[in-house]
Amino acid sequence: MAKEKKENTVNDLPGVGAATAEKLAESGFDTILAIAVASIGELTEASGMNESAARKLIFAAREKLSMGFETGLELLERRKNVLRITTSSKEVDRLLGGGVESGSVTEFYGPYASGKSAVAHQLAVNVQLPLDKGGYEGVAVFLDTESTFRPERIKSIAEAHGMDPLQALKNIRIVRCFNSDHQMLLAEKVADLITKDHLPVKILIVDSLMSFFRAEYIGRGTLAERQQKLNKHIHTLQKLADTYNIAVYVTNQVMAKPDTFFGDPTEAIGGHILAHGVNPRIYVRKGKKGTRVAKLIDSSYLPEGEVIFRICEEGIRDEE
């Protein structure tokens, strides 16, 4: 067993001395798995080594690593580490199989003022709750692309939970994004908050995911480039969720489909790249008498369903 543990350290990879290992660790490549799934460009930038050396390092890491075949029973056992963050609505939690799941990218999409950002604020507070109250006892990171974050909202939600509102605000790291490249870079830097700053980050919120991509890439001629960048961004988010067992919550906008004759003529933007990259997808819209309706559109493991909730001064609540 001691030998197996030794083989699973970065320092045992060929060509990795103490200085190189330190540089790799500073950039988040502190495990065999992180190096095995890295790109050559990422390693050259992180360590200063040339492309040939980076390629050899990746191959060596893959040789050292068991690349992932496991039984269904083993996967079931590993799934016991998955935690769910409550939305403060029992109905929405039920729709999500118990809450927003760690290790996954959960998307809420819908029209303006449908409740997506309200859920984001609620989760930023709820992640700080104890485990027995539906929390994760951790810190939230909030990437704000549309200037939606409001500290006053956090205070009122925290007070409703009996929490210290100032402490709740301290446990949220907010950053304003200014374009899609900045947004992508900040997502990549979340790993540094976990590995370098040792922050117990348990949820990453991106509100909203597609705002800049939609504004910066206009027309069919830019679609291929946009989707390529979006694909990389989604993989970064999923890698964060997988590697650090954190929850990722993203909001998304909608577009109208004029050729739809029956049902709701709206669809999430982002195309198939985004549709395949998130799990689950929830569509939210305004309901009757100030309520909101959440509908599970797609999930690989949850049954379809639709629930009603309300947004009030205290946050997200069930319809009474």
Q: What per-residue confidence (pLDDT) applies to 8?
A: 62
Give the model's confidence band at 256: pLDDT under 50 very low, under 70 low, under 90 confident, else very high: low
Which pLDDT value is given to residue 264?
A: 59
* Contact yes or no for 16/9 (Cβ under 8 A): no
The pLDDT value given to residue 3: 38
Distance CA 278, CA 113 (A): 22
| β-bridge partners, 135 | none
User: Alpha-carbon distance 153 to 7, whole Å?
Assistant: 49
% residues pLDDT > 90 (the chain): 62
Distance CA 166, CA 172 (A): 10
How is residue 12 annotated by DSSP? G
Q: What's the average model confidence in pLDDT over 10-36?
A: 83
**Residue 221 near residue 261 (C-beta atoms within 8 A):** no
pLDDT bin (cut points 50, 70, 90) of residue 192 is very high
194 pLDDT more than 60:
yes
Nearest residue to 283 (alpha-carbon basis) of 259, 301, 262, 263: 263
Residue range 146-183, pLDDT digits in tens = 999 999 999 999 999 999 999 999 999 999 999 999 99
Confidence tier at 1 by pLDDT (50, 70, 90): very low
What pLDDT is attached to residue 309?
A: 97
What is the dihedral angle through the alpha carbons of 271, 244, 247, 183, rounded to the nearest 10 degrees?
A: -50
Q: Mean pLDDT, the chain, as a whole number?
A: 89
Q: Model-level pTM greater than 0.85?
A: no
Ranges 8-12, 34-38, 288-292, most confident: 288-292
The domains located in the chain, with CATH, are 2-64 (1.10.150.20), 78-318 (3.40.50.300)
Q: Cα angle at 307 between 254 and 282, to 5 degrees? A: 30
Residue carrying structure tokens 């309200």: 118
